[in-house]
Amino acid sequence: MKVALVNPFWTYEDSIYFGCRQPHLPLELGYSKALLEADGHKVLMLDGQIQKLDNAALADRVAAFAPAMTVVSTAPTYLFWRCAPPELRVPAEFLNCLAGRGGRTVAVGPHGSATPAPTLRKLGVDVVVRGECEEIVAELARRDDWSAVPHT
Q: 150 in a domain, yes or no?
A: no
What is the rounded CA–CA span in Å between residue 27 and residue 99? 26
Tell me: the pLDDT tens digits for 42-100?
A: 999 999 988 999 999 999 999 999 999 999 999 876 555 555 666 799 999 999 999 99
The residues near 132 (Cβ < 8 Å, ≥ 6 apart) are 28
Q: Which amino acid is at 87?
A: E
Q: What range defines the domain where residue 70 resides?
A: 2-107+123-138
Backbone angles phi, psi at 140, to 5 degrees: -60, -40
For residues 69 and 3, the answer to whether their CB atoms sit within 8 Å is yes
Would 116 be classed as within a structural domain? no
CB 113 within 8 Å of CB 91:
no
Domain count, the chain: 1
Sequence-ordered alpha helix ranges (H) in 43-109: 48-51, 55-65, 89-98
Tens-place pLDDT, residues 102-151: 999 999 998 898 899 999 999 999 999 999 999 999 999 999 999 999 88
Domain-located, residue 39? yes
* 118 occurs within a structural domain: no
pLDDT confidence bin for 10, thresholds 50/70/90? confident
- pLDDT-based confidence at 152, cuts 50/70/90? confident
Torsional class of 79: left (φ above 0), alpha (ψ -120 to 50), beta (otherwise): alpha
Within-domain flag for 152: no
Find, among 133, 124, 131, 127, the residue nearest to 148 by Cα.
Answer: 127
